[in-house]
Amino acid sequence: MATTPPTRVDADIYATARSAARESNRSTAQQISYWARIGRELERSTSVSARDIEAVLDGRSPYDELDPREQAVVRAEWSVRMVEARERLNLDAEFSAEGRSWVEADEDGNVVHRGPDRTAR
């Protein structure tokens, strides 16, 4: 049996891989390996240009000039980047530090007022 060297993976990638692994009947390690192989093949692909995709993601090239496969890769990457950006947001702390109150919906859709001088109600 081949041994695999230990690898460190970001916690968010690990959690996403664990969730995807359950849906695909794979172990978390198998899911991460599967994604790595897909990424490797995309970079090697003659039908999908990793450089063209990076140019779009960096804002140097228009999305509409990509073929449908490349557009699918860009959309997947945009999705990942949006999730990461949302996870970095901590508006509760930001608004509290500024002394602002805010309103949000709870899990049942009820309006909840929050802030440094307000309690949830």
* Strand, helix or coil for residue 114: strand
Nearest to 107 by CA among 94, 97, 118, 120: 120
- Whether 2 is in a domain gets the answer no
pLDDT at 118: 59
pLDDT at 87: 83
pLDDT at 111: 94
What is the number of structural domains in the chain?
2
pLDDT at 121: 47
Kindly give the confidence (pLDDT) of every residue in the chain, 121 residues in length, as a single tens digit, with 9 standing for 90 and above: 566 777 788 888 899 999 988 888 888 988 888 888 888 877 777 777 778 888 888 899 999 988 888 888 888 888 888 888 888 888 888 888 899 999 989 889 999 998 876 554 4
Instruction: Say whether both 71 and 97 belong to one domain.
Output: no
Q: Label residues 42-64 b or e (16+ Cβ within 10 Å = b).
A: beeeeebbeebbeebeeeeeeee
Instruction: Say whether both 26 and 58 belong to one domain.
Output: yes
What predicted TM-score, i.e. pTM, was given to this entire model? 0.48
- Whether 40 is in a domain gets the answer yes
**Domain containing 105: what range?**
90-121
What angle is formed at CA 48 by the lines to CA 44 and CA 49, rounded to 5 degrees?
80
pLDDT at 62: 93
- Whether 21 is in a domain gets the answer yes
User: Within a 13 Å sphere around the CA of 104, how many CA atoms are in the beta-carbon half?
Assistant: 12
Instruction: Say whether both 66 and 97 belong to one domain.
Output: no
